Structure 1
Amino acid sequence: MEIRPIEMRDIEQFLNLLLTLEANSKDDLYEEQALNISNTESLLSSVLQNAKRQIFVAIEQERMMGYISLLGNHNEMTAHRANVSLGVLQTDQQNSIGRNLLNAAIHWAEGNRIHRLELSIRDDFEEEIELYTALGFKKEGERIDALFIDGEYRNEIYLYRLIN
């Protein structure tokens, strides 16, 4: 398994990964923006041109199996933090891939003056929450009935991890 920063040559494979993750999810992961080559190219361009942003991909046998994005900014008050988004195909190695991607993100944060990683996650994603907490993320809070999925309200958990 290779974990590496995304490159422009990965556009089509990354888009296919995002489309597969969305198709296999009960959530509308990318409802704010249509998934297509143009939007994916714009996203990758903004990531590659911004030192406070990064996307790592997991490649196995030339197939993209997952990604982790870290989105920070240059605002003086919030430049020390990055929002984390993790997506991994459902396989027997899903937890291992997620762990490797998270470790790459933590290592990147250490070298890029990021002090805080943060994310939000559905409260019923128990395996994913366990993975995050195993790697040092802590629960910061919970938004009650913040999500409406399949006719039911769900809570949203906020997690963070401080980097040395």
Structure 2
Amino acid sequence: MEIRQIREDDTENYIELCKKLDQETQFMMLEPDERTTNVQQQRDAIKSLLAAGNSMVFVAEYHSKLVGYIGAYGGEFRRNKHKVYIVIGILQEYAGKGIGTSLFTETEKWAREIGVHRLELTVMVHNEAGLALYKKMGFSIEGIARDSMLVDGKYVDEYYMAKILS
């Protein structure tokens, strides 16, 4: 298993990974078939992300296949450049094998190197595996957003979680 920064040549495999995650779990933002990003749009997004300086996607690659990712999206303005919003997805077949821990470890290392002060994320309150991972990685619940997501016609609460790095 290799954890590394995303590259432009990962574009098609990254889209495939994201679409598969949309199919496998209800914990990702997009529903199945809602993702409409084409290859050029995704390539441009990766290129922009790599140029931003305070955003990054790390991928987990196994036998030339992307099996998970963590996106770290930094603030755009002086008042929020110190923080990074985290999104993570790992294919179910590879869950529970330490990939999430490795992705978070690499992201935190990168964040500290570029001077990020705060990592933050949201998680549906019933996502027990996600909650366990985030707590293990040092994140704390800061609040709750009631009826934040609409999943299968039902409103779902989300926790706001964060980790202060410095």
Using the size of structure 2 for normalisation, the TM-score is 0.92
CA distance in 2, matches of 1:140, 1:17: 30
Name the structure 2 match of 1:58.
60
Aligned to 2:20: 20
2:49 to 37, 47, 50: 47
Q: How does 1:142-153 map to 2 (within 5 A)?
A: 142-153=144-155
Amino acid at match of 1:22: D
Count the aligned residue pairs: 164
- Find the residue that maps to 1:49 and give its secondary structure: helix
Which consecutive unaligned segments of at least 5 residues does structure 2 have?
A: none
- In structure 2, do the counterparts of structure 1 residues 28 and 81 end up closer, same or farther at CA, with 3 Å as the change threshold? closer
- Structure 1's unaligned 5+ residue stretches are none
Determine the structure 2 residue equivalent to 1:118: 120
Tell me the residue number matched to 1:11.
11
Q: Which stretch of the first structure deviates more once superposed, 33-42 or 61-70?
A: 33-42
Q: Secondary structure of the residue that 2:93 maps to in structure 1?
A: coil
| Structure 1 residue 153, shift from structure 2 partner | 1.6
Q: Which moved more, 1:140-149 or 1:110-119?
A: 140-149
Q: Work out whether residues 143 and 161 of structure 2, in 8 Å CA contact, stay in contact via their aligned partners in 1.
A: yes
Could you tell me whether the CA contact under 8 Å between 2:139 and 2:163 is conserved in 1? Answer: yes
Q: Which runs of 4+ in 1 moved over 3 A?
A: 30-33, 92-95
Distance in 2, Cα, partners of 1:49 & 1:33: 24
Preserved contact between residue 124 and residue 157 of structure 2 (Cα < 8 Å): yes
For normalisation by structure 1, the TM-score amounts to 0.93
Question: Deviation per CA, 1:52-83, whole angstroms, max 9, x where unpaired?
Answer: 11010001111111000111034111110000
Conservation of the 8 A alpha-carbon contact between 2:122 and 2:159: yes
Aligned partner of 2:92 in structure 1 is 90
**Structure 1 residue 16 displacement after superposition:** 0.6
1:95: how far off? 4.8
User: How high is the sequence identity, in percent, across the aligned residues?
Assistant: 29
AA at the equivalent of 1:15: I
Mark the CA change 1:56 to 1:49 in structure 2 (over 3 Å): closer, same or farther.
same
Does 1:163 find its partner at 2:161?
no
**Which range moved further: 76-85 or 150-159?**
150-159
Aligned to 2:108: 106
Contact 2:125 2:157 in 1 (8 A): yes
Report if aligned partners of 2:68, 2:89 keep a CA contact under 8 Å in 1.
yes
Are the equivalent residues in 2 in contact too, given 1:69–1:84 (CA < 8 A)? yes
**8 Å contact kept, 1:88–1:94:** no
Structure-2 separation of matches of 1:33 and 1:127: 24
